[in-house]
A and B are shown apart, each in its own frame.
Chain A
């Protein structure tokens, strides 16, 4: 069991206040698009000073944060999964906890535990590491299914229930989980339900030679993380989240999303297509992508830009497709190439 607390700032624990709306700032909290764009630029620039050549991954991570989703980073060891999560967390002036998942990790190690206070003669809740704005779950597939599922409630409902009492998590709240697809021994692969709860899965991939050279030159002596200073405050992030929620989605784009969903369900090589939740998350991610692009409305291109990351990890290929060497990303790309942006054409004719 290895639970580290990285920042001194502790997330405020709102015990027994589940009715309080922490995730929905009022209209006044919204950030104008120009400021939004500016803040995003600062965050991404900051991340890029640490992780060279991974702008796409950084952008997607920020997209997921602003869409209030959770991120699954899947790749071989040593490509900067944890670094990305930590950097994102550090650029924002918010609480960050990191949980190293191991087979003996218990659910209470994640959520927190009630301890009897002899002085006060009552149980007191000691919040676990999940009480933070950003929770980094390292090697999530190494924990038992029971512990993994403890994360479920937190991720989906943004609250923790212990001994019949619910404790709401602070907004923004985002779980960044990493897993290693190579070493499968002694792991508990994420159940489908849990995979579906992650808004997006990204793969870091190896940096290109130029970025790798740069990394070798600059990161020899000290961790670049130490130089990272927060560039936005937690309140600002909340306002950004609110801005994203206000992004307009036209019926044409909704139809396009539905079209993509149907195409995954009817695809001959897929055992399992995209769930309605997946489509909802696809749309939320698309809204964030549109806002990041400086727009207050979603284009089919926004949907397309996040579709692979949002959908690929939820799809299950049939045996024939696996044998044929196909992968989910390829199938999503193929679906995007085939689903008509039809509503666009209909509206043009009007």
Chain B
């Protein structure tokens, strides 16, 4: 009875894939999961831009909340627009819950006070960006900005991958996340970070291909095959990402990861010296050129801002906007204005060109700044000149008249120790948790010295002494590339660093000794250009500085004298005459170095071979020979690994070719070899024969991709193969391979040569009808190698 219940057989057979069923409920979430995973993995690279990992959880929660929207929309078969809107709702909800919960309604709905709270968070983030060097502290503002940014990227990636059907292009979204750490982190992304992001990207591609497989699933292109295809595309993209830097100018120093830093956004010519001083020094090329013409007889430092706010983890500028004064044409304290008449007045004409920064570079101490465009205000405490909103320091051409008190060793020596300094407490404050090594070293260096000048000179001499080495790379490698207490402690231990470390150490040790101090940030004197500029009828010598001259130096406060600059960094800048040891030859030498363009730079400390780090990134150059061979070896292995599949495939083809061309006559073996070769060629172009697919079925499918000649060649190969594989080997075969081969190849070639020419014809047909991406993929990642035989 059961048998009779069979329905009449439908005239049309169900498709071969009729058994395949779409797994309900799971597929819509697969892509959301892949996008979330990829975004989170890419975002993990922000570690190092933001300190520690505490920020990651909020980011993960945000990404999951955002991705739940599109996933839900797909599961419910709503429109993609609804998915995007739900994603935005998820973003708003999660940000509210995480950061604005105190002002929210029911945790996730922003309340009346949320906007105000948001403003505070944004201001907090803004401050962190301006005042901190990466890695910045994970303050709520910064973490919120990270969450919003990463959440939006997740939504963008999802939108590209699913509604726009551009899963491969969704990588650009991930790239947007990666650009930030790639530019800011000294070591770029690093292999682990790069691989994590790449794995996420591959997950998206794999998910997209798998879903495609579910939708179409033609025979031979199973879901598993789709994974292989996705892996192929992804691996190709990654190989390209690794190989591309080799062909691009500017990546000549080092290799992945250092050399392949993504600084194509046009390096931050914004040159915020605080944020990126170390990076600028390490960068292979020079940028952010500023020229200045001056009548100063001594090397001139251009100062942008001072860091006096020492909170332990960081030195940062004080936000003195409320105390700042408008108008820079006449600026400076009364004491400074007096010096316009009494002291040495220096006139400097500065062209900032592409330099952008919130602060205007000027020699210390500026009394008049003439010809600068926009709104500028100055801080009476530090004489830093800061731009108002909307004003840029770029393309400014202005003249600064600055004064220098008559500073000599003698009058500095006369300065008394300060009992109650007439400066703000911020210049003297030292947090209580100072590491012992700083206290001990200071005590050791000062060794009972009472005079502030003697103390300052002792510290400077100690830092310029033979124990210390100038290195731009060592702090990065040692993990102390900052300026706080822990960094200074590490620096004192390692005795290797660059100007930031020397300046910070001297400033902290001075405070420990009771001398008010701050760190000035700007440019070391630079080089003469050989040109002169006429200002008010006077010829001024022109100099240039760029990113390689970025510098930091300490300024110490002396009673009745004011702020006095020192130069503890060996090999950089020029030690002023008043800060030179009477017997030391070093300063003159340093002076020559900086004012002698193109001159051979000699180490300022001859006894220390590495002490003379030249400003043009010599530390990196010094490190290069050590890493070079490894990099080259690694690169070689990488190239070999990438080329291996193509080479193996070629050798297989060559073997088959020889087998066919050297055979006397076509045989069962040549037919099998020829068919296998044709099948492999098709597999390379993404059309692989499924194990359950017969030769005929495969020929039908492949024939649709080929033009007439190639299709006919394929049919001949298939026919030969069928006879070889299935016909009675003992039976005489008048119409067999041999007879036809001889007939076709009247020109003298054997039938097996005809078989090879058929193989070539099929491969040629496939090539003609494929896109360049498929050809590239077929060449680099021949899938026939991964087919089980």
Interface of chain A residues 66 through 100 with chain B (CB within 8 A): 74-76
Q: In the complex the two chains form, is B3's CB within 8 Å of A316's CB?
A: yes
Closest residue of chain B to A344 (Cβ to Cβ) is B725
- The 8 Å CB contact of A250, one of B14, B219, B726, B789, is B726
Q: In the complex the two chains form, is B11's CB within 8 Å of A248's CB?
A: no
Q: In the complex the two chains form, is A345's CB within 8 Å of B13's CB?
A: no
| Cβ of B25 under 8 Å from chain A | no
| Cβ of A162 under 8 Å from chain B | no
Chain A residues close to B by CB (< 8 Å): 74-76, 141, 181, 184, 189-190, 192, 195, 201-203, 205-206, 248, 250, 252-253, 271, 295-301, 304, 308, 312-313, 316-317, 322, 327-330, 333-334, 336-342, 344-345, 347-350
Binary contact track B690-707/A, C-beta < 8 Å → 1, others 0 = 011111110000000000
Q: In the complex the two chains form, is B694's CB within 8 Å of A338's CB?
A: no
Closest residue of chain B to A334 (Cβ to Cβ) is B19
Known: A333-B14, A341-B692, A348-B789. A322 touches B725 (CB 8 A): no
Interface of chain B residues 687 through 733 with chain A (CB within 8 A): 691-697, 722-723, 725-728, 731
Selected A-B contacts with CB under 8 Å, 13 pairs? A184-B4, A203-B9, A205-B9, A248-B727, A300-B694, A301-B697, A322-B5, A333-B14, A334-B16, A347-B672, A348-B725, A349-B676, A350-B669
| Cβ of B265 under 8 Å from chain A | no
- The 8 Å CB contact of A337, one of B7, B219, B728, B731, is B219
Nearest chain B CB to A57 CB, angstrom units? 9
Interface of chain B residues 1 through 42 with chain A (CB within 8 A): 1-11, 13-19
- The 8 Å CB contact of A341, one of B9, B16, B693, B731, is B693
CA distance A250 to B724 in the complex (A): 11
Q: In the complex the two chains form, is A313's CB within 8 Å of B219's CB?
A: no
Excluding A202-B9, A203-B9, A313-B6, 17 further A-B contacts by CB distance (< 8 Å) are A181-B4, A181-B7, A248-B727, A250-B726, A299-B696, A299-B726, A301-B697, A312-B6, A322-B2, A328-B6, A330-B19, A333-B16, A333-B18, A336-B16, A337-B19, A345-B691, A348-B789
- The 8 Å CB contact of B3, one of A76, A195, A297, A348, is A195
Q: In the complex the two chains form, is B14's CB within 8 Å of A248's CB?
A: no
Closest 10 CB pairs of A and B: A334-B19, A205-B11, A248-B728, A337-B16, A340-B691, A203-B9, A297-B727, A300-B694, A189-B4, A250-B726
- What residues of chain A lie closer than 8 Å to B672, measured between beta carbons? 347-348, 350
Q: In the complex the two chains form, is B697's CB within 8 Å of A337's CB?
A: no
Nearest chain A CB to B681 CB, angstrom units? 14
CA distance A2 to B727 in the complex (A): 48
| Cβ of B675 under 8 Å from chain A | yes
Closest residue of chain B to A343 (Cβ to Cβ) is B725
Nearest chain B CB to A255 CB, angstrom units? 12
Nearest chain B CB to A253 CB, angstrom units? 6
Closest residue of chain A to B730 (Cβ to Cβ) is A248
Q: Which one of A298, A333, A339 has the greatest number of beta carbons of chain B within 10 Å?
A: A333
Nearest chain A CB to B1 CB, angstrom units? 6
Closest residue of chain A to B697 (Cβ to Cβ) is A301
Nearest chain A CB to B7 CB, angstrom units? 5
Q: In the complex the two chains form, is A203's CB within 8 Å of B725's CB?
A: no
Q: In the complex the two chains form, is B11's CB within 8 Å of A347's CB?
A: no
- What residues of chain A lie closer than 8 Å to B789, measured between beta carbons? 345, 348-349
CA distance A348 to B673 in the complex (A): 7
- What residues of chain B lie closer than 8 Å to A312, measured between beta carbons? 6, 9
Closest residue of chain B to A335 (Cβ to Cβ) is B19
Q: In the complex the two chains form, is A189's CB within 8 Å of B695's CB?
A: no
CA distance A305 to B209 in the complex (A): 32
Chain B residues close to A by CB (< 8 Å): 1-11, 13-19, 219, 669, 672, 675-676, 691-697, 722-723, 725-728, 731, 789
Q: In the complex the two chains form, is B16's CB within 8 Å of A329's CB?
A: no
CA distance A299 to B726 in the complex (A): 6
- The 8 Å CB contact of B2, one of A190, A296, A317, is A317
- What residues of chain A lie closer than 8 Å to B723, measured between beta carbons? 297
- What residues of chain A lie closer than 8 Å to B695, measured between beta carbons? 299, 344
Q: In the complex the two chains form, is B16's CB within 8 Å of A299's CB?
A: no
CA distance A343 to B173 in the complex (A): 47
- What residues of chain B lie closer than 8 Å to A317, measured between beta carbons? 2, 6
CA distance A76 to B7 in the complex (A): 11
- What residues of chain B lie closer than 8 Å to A304, measured between beta carbons? 694
Nearest chain A CB to B121 CB, angstrom units? 56
Nearest chain A CB to B100 CB, angstrom units? 52
Nearest chain B CB to A256 CB, angstrom units? 9
- What residues of chain B lie closer than 8 Å to A252, measured between beta carbons? 725-726
Closest residue of chain B to A332 (Cβ to Cβ) is B13
Closest residue of chain A to B700 (Cβ to Cβ) is A301
CA distance A329 to B7 in the complex (A): 10
CA distance A347 to B5 in the complex (A): 42
CA distance A252 to B723 in the complex (A): 12
Known: A297-B726, A301-B697. A340 touches B692 (CB 8 A): yes
CA distance A328 to B697 in the complex (A): 23
Q: In the complex the two chains form, is B8's CB within 8 Å of A330's CB?
A: no
CA distance A74 to B691 in the complex (A): 34
- What residues of chain A lie closer than 8 Å to B727, measured between beta carbons? 248, 250, 295-297
CA distance A348 to B689 in the complex (A): 13
Nearest chain A CB to B550 CB, angstrom units? 65
Closest residue of chain B to A182 (Cβ to Cβ) is B8
Q: In the complex the two chains form, is A296's CB within 8 Å of B726's CB?
A: no
Closest residue of chain A to B12 (Cβ to Cβ) is A205
- What residues of chain A lie closer than 8 Å to B675, measured between beta carbons? 348
Q: In the complex the two chains form, is B9's CB within 8 Å of A298's CB?
A: no
- What residues of chain B lie closer than 8 Å to A297, measured between beta carbons? 722-723, 726-728
Closest residue of chain A to B17 (Cβ to Cβ) is A337
Q: In the complex the two chains form, is A181's CB within 8 Å of B8's CB?
A: yes
Closest residue of chain A to B8 (Cβ to Cβ) is A203
Q: In the complex the two chains form, is A327's CB within 8 Å of B9's CB?
A: yes
Known: A252-B726, A350-B672. A344 touches B694 (CB 8 A): yes
CA distance A322 to B1 in the complex (A): 12
Nearest chain B CB to A244 CB, angstrom units? 15
Closest residue of chain A to B675 (Cβ to Cβ) is A348
Q: In the complex the two chains form, is B722's CB within 8 Å of A299's CB?
A: yes
CA distance A190 to B675 in the complex (A): 47
Nearest chain B CB to A349 CB, angstrom units? 5
Nearest chain A CB to B336 CB, angstrom units? 90
- What residues of chain B lie closer than 8 Å to A340, measured between beta carbons? 691-692
